[in-house]
Structure 1
Amino acid sequence: MIRRDPRSVVRTALGILTILGAVGCGGASEGDAPTAPTNPTIPTTPTAPLPEADWVDTIDGEIPLVIIAPHGGDLAPAELPDRVCSGCITGNDLNTQALARTISDAFSGRIGKRPYLVINRLQRRKFDANRDVQEATAGYAPLAPMWTKFQGAIDSAKVRARRLHPRILVIDLHGHGHTIQRLELGYQLSASELRLTDASLAPYVAMSSVAELGRVAVSRDSAAALIRGPCSLGSHFAALGIPAVPSEPEPAPLAGQDYFNGGFNTVRHGSSNAGPSDAIQVESHYTGLRDTASNRAGFAEVFVTAALAFLRDHYGWVPA
């Protein structure tokens, strides 16, 4: 799969410097091969105004965390054409909407406060909420306002969170169908970059979706430690019994192993351009985490513990 990387030009320069001196497709899921009707008919105008307000759910929060669930939509309105485009992925990330809601409830139950939550309700065959507007809508212009509304809801959540906190974290929640049952945490760092030494990895972290956090984290951790050190998000998950990559036990995917490193949302809402919000894509495996309500509830408790530790370590935030 070809992955678009907006940092490719800069990375080429870095690669040359390394030699001289030395995307992720978020949320591809179980059975997510592109599917499309044999002879699709794509209307140019809707027969009635599209009710895009009904296709985005938001829950207000109080903590410096925004969780977005773009690929767990449960609605497939007949008035919307199925997406047809080269390389389109149309399979949902199973149960990720339910998982996001369960995580929100787990925060509330644990600390009496919630993260900000933004959920896309449309199935992925109708709309992809982790792509640019053209690919998200497959060129169906009447659906473009939905893209604006979804991204605007995330922006609004970030603004509201920033009124309470100087720095915030955005988690883009997905589900993968890869063979290895572990979390894949995406920072816009490729698998080959993660396999570099800590010193060689550092300049890439400086262009990642947590770039600014690497400069201002209260932990003063090194760039590589922020990604895979003992206080990294992956290491917190691993310490709680959920394998994750990158982390201290698994600092990088091995050559040939599947790995999602982040997508459109981590680029747009991360801090590669020195913004006040960092972003991490969390790709969860299915069995034992997303497959049943009981397992989702169990993972939600682990998620809360890991996220609170990460916010404490690097953002200096603890529940009042």
Structure 2
Amino acid sequence: MSLRTRIYIIALLLSSLACQGSGIAKTFSLQDSLAIYQPGKSYTFKVESAIGEYALAIEYIAGDAASKLILTSPHGGNLKPEFMHTRSKDFVSAANEVDYGDTESFSAVSDSKTLELTLALAEEIRKATGLRPHVVLNHLHRSKLDANRALSLAAQGDKNAIAAWKAFHQYIDDAKSQVAKNGPGLVLDIHGNAHRPQRTEVGLLLSGKDFGTGDLEKLADKSSVRALVRSGRATMKELTTGDTALGTLLNQNVFTATPSKAYPNPIDANAFPDGRYFNGGYNTARHGSRFSGNISAIQLEFNSDVRMNDKSRNDYARAIAKSIIGFINKYFN
């Protein structure tokens, strides 16, 4: 575990002695906090009420040392501890936060079954490649914590939510540190959408309107895969609409996906008359390479058919894993 994580844990333990009211989150056990992450082992962060009630908040399942991939699920949790504040759309965000992306829009709707899909993807990737990806899960319902927003709106002042938010992003940072030892890496932020017609959306921080400009190469610096383009490993065209773009691979193996070779414009009125497209948010910006680093990030918004049916989800996960592995092999090996 990184020195920064240990310092963070110690600070939380000290602060918890002075906190009253709703209580502060319990951290990892002492044994876990002093150990190096072990591949395949689950590390958990729990929240606690003033009278000693606990609830699982954040979980990190450590990946193998050679893995280039981190899977995150910020909106798939369903736990609603009563001792935690319920987030409100009337909350006013802090004005001085670092703007990594979407810091203002409010939602308390969960991305149902995306936590289960993330775990299924991790298992299928492990079986196919022999390597466990790193996995970071938020088990709290979005009404209690939005782990894909800046801290102010994400937690709305609740001490448990604040601590859980910090743990979620610290786990990702620790996983990124491990991945970076192997060179370039990738974070896939797993979400769900209810857009119609159904499709999977690949978000690289480019807006829907950007795809109508005709020259995506000029927009590489605003994307979450900036490092890939600047390194010469890929062009923006290859990463969005090429034969080995993640959307193209998903479209071949799973379902309608955009942007892709078959559906290059995610707001094409003929293909997608609802005009909706989720292009990535806080996590994609913060943990991708738009601002710094060699780890890129992509937000994947999966349609309901892919994730909601417990009987068919694993079959979809196997096909999605095939697409992800093809993308990793092309651009990160």
TM-score (norm 1): 0.79
Q: CA deviation at 1:81?
A: 1.4
Q: CA deviation at 1:142?
A: 4.7
What is aligned with 1:215? 230
Aligned residues of 1:73 and 1:97 also touching (Cα < 8 A): yes
Moved more, 48-57 or 69-78: 48-57
What is aligned with 1:97? 115
- Indicate yes or no: 2:232 matched with 1:232: no
Moved more, 137-146 or 154-163: 137-146
Q: Deviations over 1:99-135 (max 9, x none)?
A: 1111111112222221100000100001100000001
In the aligned structure 1, how far is the partner of 2:21 from the partner of 2:211?
46
In the aligned structure 2, how far is the partner of 1:46 from the partner of 1:65?
39
1:268-287 equivalences in 2 (<5 Å): 268-287=286-305
Cα–Cα, structure 1 residues 49 and 226, in superposed 2: closer, same or farther, change >3 Å? Answer: closer
1:75 to 72, 76, 79: 79
What is aligned with 1:203? 218
Give the AA of the match of 1:57. E
Give the AA of the match of 1:139. G
Q: CA deviation at 1:68?
A: 0.2
In the aligned structure 1, how far is the partner of 2:163 from the partner of 2:176?
20
In the aligned structure 2, how far is the partner of 1:148 from the partner of 1:278?
21
1:1-320 equivalences in 2 (<5 Å): 46-51=21-26, 53-54=45-46, 55-62=57-64, 63-86=67-90, 87-163=105-181, 165-197=182-214, 200-218=215-233, 221-253=234-266, 254-255=268-269, 256-287=274-305, 289-316=306-333
Moved more, 244-253 or 44-53: 44-53
TM-score (norm 2): 0.76
Moved more, 107-116 or 264-273: 107-116
Q: CA RMSD in A?
A: 1.7
Q: Deviations over 1:151-197 (max 9, x none)?
A: 0011011112223x101000000000111211101000000001221
Aligned residues of 2:205 and 2:223 also touching (Cα < 8 A): yes
Q: The residue matched to 2:217 in structure 1 has which SS?
A: helix
Q: Deviations over 1:74-101 (max 9, x none)?
A: 2111100100134521010010001111
In the aligned structure 2, how far is the partner of 1:119 from the partner of 1:151?
10
Aligned residues of 1:206 and 1:223 also touching (Cα < 8 A): no
Give the AA of the match of 1:291. M
Aligned residues of 1:128 and 1:137 also touching (Cα < 8 A): yes
Give the AA of the match of 2:249. H
Gapped regions of structure 1 (runs ≥ 5): 1-43
In the aligned structure 2, how far is the partner of 1:296 from the partner of 1:51?
33
Aligned residues of 1:183 and 1:285 also touching (Cα < 8 A): yes
Aligned residues of 2:22 and 2:84 also touching (Cα < 8 A): no
